[in-house]
């Protein structure tokens, strides 16, 4: 299986609730390797760029408010099939439907506060890593 990298963000609710260590621990225990880690405020411009594909969705304005509502933690993880491994460890987008044992299934219940973001494909991961770890967003 090919090694790849993926981008993970612990969203502001995860930081606010003191779940940063728990979320990082789950990815580490899964065997993924931490390659970059940063505590940061996500600017409105960065949030809009990151979630650009959702710009025409009804939840978009609330999503931008959510992601910019407090500090977040950005990270890069590497391993075999890392994109899918992270998505499976996070659980379904809607926490109400996420399986117990997943991060979302264990720690949240509402789709508008789902704790964590993980890239959905290797190409997306490349774009998101470049975006969050570019010089101007350091």
Nearer to ligand IDP, 110 or 138 (CB): 110
Nearer to ligand IDP, 9 or 136 (CB): 9
Residue 45 main-chain phi, psi, to 5 deg: -60, -45
Return the ∠ at Cα 53 (arms to 36 and 119), rounded to 5°. 30
Q: Which SS3 state, helix, strand or coil, does residue 88 take?
A: helix
Q: Is 39 near ligand IDP (CB under 6 A)?
A: no
> Does the annotation count 50 as an active-site position?
no
Q: How many CB atoms lie within 10 A of CB 44?
A: 11
Contact footprint for Mg ion (CB under 5 A)? 120
Q: Which residues form the interface with ligand IDP (CB under 6 A)?
A: 54, 59, 63, 93, 111-112, 114, 117, 120
């Amino acid at each position: 299986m090919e090694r790849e990298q993926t981008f993970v963000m612990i969203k502001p609710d995860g930081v606010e609730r003191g779940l940063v260590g728990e979320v990082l621990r789950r990815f580490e225990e899964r065997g993924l390797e931490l390659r970059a880690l940063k505590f940061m405020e996500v600017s409105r411009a960065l949030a809009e760029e990151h979630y650009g594909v959702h710009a025409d969705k009804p939840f978009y304005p609330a999503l931008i408010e959510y992601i910019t509502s407090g500090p977040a933690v950005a990270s890069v993880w590497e391993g075999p099939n890392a994109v899918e491994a992270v998505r499976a460890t996070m659980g379904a987008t809607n926490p109400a439907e996420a399986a117990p044992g997943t991060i979302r299934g264990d720690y949240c219940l509402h789709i508008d506060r789902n704790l964590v973001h993980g890239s959905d494909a290797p190409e997306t991961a490349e774009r998101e890593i470049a975006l969050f770890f570019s010089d101007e967003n350091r």
